[in-house]
């Protein structure tokens, strides 16, 4: 039984209140340290990502951007996402056309995701790419970035249905 499961979205809680402010403050500091500017629209998009509990589509962010339900114009959000990705504050999940805030502290890094096909959760983890980098070098490639996306079921969604 339970060929389909319908767990609600969300594995990450989504930040609120002081935790959210703290994360945004930390981002400001990291920007200041590198002469980058966390401007209003960039900060707002990062805030939306941090608040959410699941990967966000660009047009979800566009719709949620304004304080009173006013949407943003697409370039506003896409530019902010480009900035956030460049600085390592956010990642794009290619197989979902969606974005998540970086959950791994520290600077820019190679990202990898475990994506649950059931509840939509996307867990970032620190990948060990030693084997693949060796293969790339052997093939004569100079690798600059790697993305890995694993699809499957998270622990909660693999558990037997309670109903």
Partner DNA sequence: ACACCTCCTGTTATGAGATAACATAACCGG
Partner DNA sequence: CCGGTTATGTTATCTCATAACAGGAGGTGT
Closest CA to 77 of 44, 108, 55, 51: 44
Rounded to the nearest 5 degrees, what angle is found at the Cα of 102, between the Cα atoms of 99 and 106?
155
Find the shortest distance in angstroms from Cβ 150 to DNA: 19
Among 32, 104, 148, 161, interactor with a copy of itself by CB under 8 A: 148
Q: Is 20 in the site for DNA (CB under 7 A)?
A: no
The vertex-149 CA angle with 107 and 73, nearest 5°, equals: 70
The helix (run of H) or strand (run of E) holding residue 6 is: none
Footprint of DNA on 44-103 (CB under 7 A) = 57-59, 73-76, 78-80, 83, 97
Is there binding between residue 116 and a copy of itself (CB under 8 A)? yes
Please tell me whether residue 144 binds a copy of itself under the rule CB under 8 A: yes
- Residue ranges in 22-41 that form contacts with DNA under rule CB under 7 A: 36-37, 39-41
């Amino acid at each position: 039984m339970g060929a389909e499961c319908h767990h609600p979205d969300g594995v990450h809680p989504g930040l609120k209140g002081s935790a959210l402010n703290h994360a945004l403050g930390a981002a400001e500091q990291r920007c200041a340290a590198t002469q980058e500017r966390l401007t209003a629209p960039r900060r707002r998009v990062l805030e939306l990502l941090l608040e959410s509990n699941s990967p966000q589509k660009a047009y979800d962010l566009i719709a949620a951007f304004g304080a009173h339900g006013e949407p943003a114009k697409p370039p506003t959000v896409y530019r902010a996402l480009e900035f956030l990705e460049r600085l390592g504050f956010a990642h794009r999940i290619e197989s979902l056309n969606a974005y998540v805030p970086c959950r791994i502290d520290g600077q820019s890094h190679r990202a990898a995701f475990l994506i649950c096909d059931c509840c939509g959760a996307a867990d970032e983890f620190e990948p060990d790419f030693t084997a693949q980098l060796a293969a790339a070098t052997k093939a004569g490639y100079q690798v600059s970035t790697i993305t890995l996306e694993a699809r499957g079921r998270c622990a909660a969604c693999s558990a037997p249905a309670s109903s």
